[in-house]
Homo-oligomer: A and B are copies of this chain.
Amino acid sequence: MARESHKQKLLTEGLRVVHERGYGGASVRDIVAAAGVPHGSFTNHFASKEAFGLEVLDLYYARVQDVVLKTLRNDELPPMKRLRGYIDDVLRQTAKGGARRGCVFGNFSAEAVEGNEVIRKRLVEILDELQGSIEYCLKAAVKAGELSAATKTRELAGFILSSLQGAILFSKAYRSVASIERFKKILLASIATG
């Protein structure tokens, strides 16, 4: 039980540290200190920093998936309202703490350097799934007549996901979510006329 609790602390506090400082910028020492557990606890629970990185990525994705289920994949809401709800949640999350942290997926993408192939591949799987959830919402919007029947939903979903990540990236540089507000406004207006 105690061990399980240490692992939970390492993941929860580790995610916070990785989110703030990046994967490369967060040392095992930092993570252990933030979790307030003995140093040996890390090696007991994770075979490597990479193994930890994968679990942290999945913990973050689980949180994002909660939002996806309430928004993009929530069949009880009108499709375009779901898309707006998803972007609004990104706005709220990104604004926390002064728009300093960005999104873990974007941060990991920027750090996707040589030698982290396992993490990079998992990241790509997650981004593909997220794109699939946006596409799911766009298809529903086409079906409901909220988007033109000519919409290339798969391509547009990929465009939305990467453009949103770019807006989040700018929020880090500018310490402001204005880039995400602008993205939302222009995207929704251009889809509406599309």
Task: Name A's B-contacting residues (CB within 8 A).
Answer: 20-22, 24-25, 100, 102, 106-114, 120, 123-124, 127, 155-156, 158-159, 161-170, 172-175, 179, 182-183, 185-186, 190, 193-194
Contacts and interface: CB of A to CB of B under 8 A. Distances in A.
How many subunits of this chain does the assembly comprise? Answer: 2
Contacts of A186: 155-156, 159
A169 B165 contact: yes
B182 A158 contact: yes
B113 A173 contact: no
Contacts of A170: 109, 127, 161-162, 165
A106 B168 CA distance: 11
A102 B123 CA distance: 16
A194 B186 CA distance: 11
9 contacts: A24-B25, A110-B169, A110-B172, A127-B173, A158-B182, A162-B163, A166-B167, A190-B190, A190-B194
A123 B159 CA distance: 25
A110 B162 contact: no
Contacts of A156: 186
A106 B113 contact: no
